[in-house]
């Protein structure tokens, strides 16, 4: 993932305690991501970083709107998002299996929030995003209906059953 410099937080010089950061995620953020299912958006991020001696605790509050393709007609649609999440950053060498715990190398002095922000927004999406029935692109729905109907077998194609492979007939007669 290409990293935006504005989402990199240098924590090395920060004093212990809480520090607030604000970000604005726009369409440009998503355009830099290859294969992003989110095509655009306008999301306000409030990030609270609590620095302690042995760890960092990050509290994310995000709200706004993202653009994604409608799962029914594929036109772009606005999806409201609200995210509230906490991630703990710990120093060490071992891998973490907990999705809410990120292990940073002991030599790290910055955290890059770009991939975390994208993941949190992606997970916040509903499993199926569709326009209201009347808001979908009628042209696209007509095309889908045309191709779905043409792929279903006609009832008049009963002649196909008579043209079976003679090897299958021989196998059926083995009983």
Instruction: Specify if 119 maps to a domain.
Output: yes
Q: What is the pLDDT of residue 59?
A: 97
Question: How many domains does the chain contain in total?
Answer: 1
pLDDT in tens, 112-136: 999 999 999 999 999 888 888 778 8
Instruction: Specify if 161 maps to a domain.
Output: no
Instruction: Specify if 155 maps to a domain.
Output: no
Instruction: Specify if 83 maps to a domain.
Output: yes
Rounded distance, CA 110 to CA 108, Å?
A: 6
The answer to whether 131 and 77 have CB atoms below 8 angstroms apart is: yes
The answer to whether 116 and 101 have CB atoms below 8 angstroms apart is: no
pLDDT band at 44 (very low <50, low <70, confident <90, very high): very high
- Helices then strands, each counted (H, E), the chain: 5, 7
Instruction: Specify if 9 maps to a domain.
Output: yes
Find the domain containing 123 and state its range.
Answer: 5-135
Give the pLDDT mean for 71-93: 92
For residue 139, give the DSSP letter. H
Instruction: Specify if 140 maps to a domain.
Output: no
User: Which positions ≥6 away from 39 have C-beta within 8 Å?
Assistant: 27, 30, 67, 68, 69, 76
Q: What is the pLDDT of residue 62?
A: 97
Instruction: Specify if 169 maps to a domain.
Output: no
Instruction: Specify if 32 maps to a domain.
Output: yes
pLDDT score of 148 more than 80: no
pTM over 0.85: no
């Amino acid at each position: 993932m290409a990293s935006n410099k504005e989402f990199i937080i240098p924590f090395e010089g920060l004093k212990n305690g809480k520090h607030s950061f604000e970000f604005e995620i726009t369409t440009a953020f998503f355009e830099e991501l290859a294969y992003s299912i989110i095509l655009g958006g306008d999301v306000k991020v409030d990030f609270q970083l609590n620095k302690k001696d042995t760890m960092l605790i990050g509290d994310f509050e995000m709200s706004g709107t993202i653009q994604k393709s409608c799962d029914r007609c594929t036109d772009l649609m606005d999806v409201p998002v609200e995210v509230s999440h906490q991630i703990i950053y710990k120093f060490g060498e071992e891998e973490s299996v907990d999705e809410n715990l990120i292990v940073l190398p002991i030599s790290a002095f910055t955290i890059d929030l770009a991939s975390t922000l994208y993941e949190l927004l992606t997970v916040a999406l509903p499993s199926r995003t569709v326009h209201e029935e009347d808001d979908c692109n009628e042209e696209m729905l007509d095309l889908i209906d045309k191709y779905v109907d043409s792929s279903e077998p006609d009832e008049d194609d009963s002649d196909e059953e008579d043209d079976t492979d003679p090897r299958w007939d021989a196998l059926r007669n083995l009983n």
